[in-house]
Amino acid sequence: MTRRRYWVYFLSFLLTGICYIDRINMSLAGHSVAQEFSLSPVALGYLFSSFLWAYVLMMLPGGRLIDSFGMHRIGAAAVAVWSVAQALTGAAGGFVTMLFTRLGLGAGEAPTFPVACQAVRDWGPYTERGWALGAIYSGSFLGPAIAAPGIAWLIQATSWRWSFVLTGGVGLLWVVVWLAVVSTPERSSWLPEPERKRILAERLAGDRPSQGRGVGYLGLMRSPSMWGLAISQGCAVYSLYLYLAWLPDYLVTARHLSVAKSGLFTAVPLAAGAIIMILANWLGDRLMTEGAMRSGRRRMVVVASLVLTSGGMFIPFAHSLTAVVLLTILPISFCNTATSANSALTNDLLRSTADSGRAFAFLPLGGNVFGLLAPIVTGYIVEATGSFNSAFILAGVLALVGAVVSASLTYHTLGEAVPVRALRAAGA
């Protein structure tokens, strides 16, 4: 049996990789931007967070567009928008103009993970959900891990402006390839017929799809599981954005590294995180029977990952740079393992294909409502205390809260629609 569907997974992996390369570009350039524009830690925190404002606002509309027009079309349009905004960041003349380009980046990136989740739901048998999403989400670590040293060198050797122009160009190149390759399994002529039949037969195995148009956002929000997924996602994403936004600056200001060395030391936990995330989700798949999947037993991967994420609260007590780097592997690795496992868990609990784009949008919406606060709150903490210590401890506590929420709430199906005949019988 062929596995040409893996090309869709690979392009989705590149999608998340490019997304996070463009995000970490600002983190690596932050010290240089702050010096050129004379920005305080609070102002820099707002700049780090600003793309998330538009990201959150566009999340639900993005999910609705995916349900209406397909993930393949919305994926191409979204990357084109954010790549142009990324390139224009290199031309920013000050805080305000950079703020607007960052908002454009956020608006374009909003459908990224709903597109990736929908790609797995459309193209993958349910037995591949965990490792496929783990591999795709690993792009959010491997992309920055590979690119961070090069971007840091480019900033130091030339200018922070060129780093934004070049990374924006990479995204536009991806759009050309995606449009040439990705559609749906039903319409892709390059997909062998036996593989097409397997995908169509197994991608919803174990599900009982609802009839009609699904239950919509209001119906999804009636499920405790949807709230458990969104809140635990938020607790994980808070740690993710704290470290992605502030770790390079922390290494420069608190550990006295150069910009180039901060890029190298940032790459280590990111690379380790990608490997750990794939292995953890692969193991989760191996433990999934059809019954375990439908009952939401994948939540245990989420809970364990969030508990391990909380280990970042011990960074303030580390004295050596080696210990700091080793400790950052815990939150960076396992916060994103939790988010990818949560996406697979959403797939497991979802009953209606018609609601999938909305569910995959509501999940990261919850995550990024928390996430947009992380860079800002950290900026205020650093300015008030002169230290990152309280910021790391706060993120660890939130990770433990997320573990409790996931363990308590994610037991119910998402979008379970009651057939009209059953309603009539109940009223008879």
For 168-185, how does the pLDDT look when each residue is reduced to its tens digit (9 = 90+)?
A: 999 999 999 999 999 989
Rounded to an integer, what is the distance from CA 343 to the centroid of its chain? 10
Domain that holds residue 105: 6-182+214-427
In tens, the pLDDT along 18-63 reads 998 998 899 889 889 999 999 998 898 888 888 888 988 898 888 8
| Residue 308 belongs to some domain of the structure | yes
**Rounded distance between C-alpha atoms, residue 253 and residue 41, angstroms:** 11
How large is the average pLDDT for residues 9-24?
93
How large is the average pLDDT for residues 366-387?
87
What are the residues whose beta carbons fall under 8 Å from the beta carbon of 99, sequence distance 6 or more? 46, 47, 50
Angle between helices 112-123 and 129-157 (to 10 degrees): 140
| Residue 188 belongs to some domain of the structure | no
Q: Is the pLDDT of residue 426 over 70?
A: no
| Residue 107 belongs to some domain of the structure | yes
For the chain, how many structural domains are there in total?
1
Three-state DSSP class for residue 91: coil
- Return the minimum-mean-pLDDT range out of 158-167, 180-189, 291-300: 291-300
- pLDDT at position 138 is 84
| Residue 83 belongs to some domain of the structure | yes
How large is the average pLDDT for residues 3-7?
91
- Six token digits for residue 412: 């119910």
| Residue 1 belongs to some domain of the structure | no
| Residue 202 belongs to some domain of the structure | no
- pLDDT at position 14 is 96
Q: pLDDT-based confidence at 83, cuts 50/70/90?
A: very high
- pLDDT at position 289 is 66
Residue 388 has phi, psi (to 5 degrees) of: -90, -5
Q: pLDDT-based confidence at 275, cuts 50/70/90?
A: confident
| Residue 301 belongs to some domain of the structure | yes
Length of the chain: 428
User: How many alpha carbons fall within 13 Å on the CB side of residue 70?
Assistant: 12
pTM across the whole model: 0.69
**Rounded distance between C-alpha atoms, residue 428 and residue 425, angstroms:** 5
- pLDDT at position 210 is 47
Burial of 150 (0-12, 13-18, 19+ CB in 10 A): middle
**Rounded distance between C-alpha atoms, residue 217 and residue 214, angstroms:** 9
Q: pLDDT-based confidence at 66, cuts 50/70/90?
A: confident
Task: State the virtual CA torsion across 14, 15, 17, 20 in degrees, nearest 10.
Answer: 170
User: How many alpha carbons fall within 13 Å on the CB side of residue 420?
Assistant: 3
* Domain CATH code at residue 241: 1.20.1250.20
Backbone Cα Rg of the chain: 21
In tens, the pLDDT along 307-350 reads 999 999 999 999 888 899 889 989 988 998 898 888 888 888 88
| Residue 23 belongs to some domain of the structure | yes
Q: pLDDT-based confidence at 95, cuts 50/70/90?
A: very high
C-alpha distances (whole Å) from 419 to each of 125, 212, 220 are 26, 10, 16
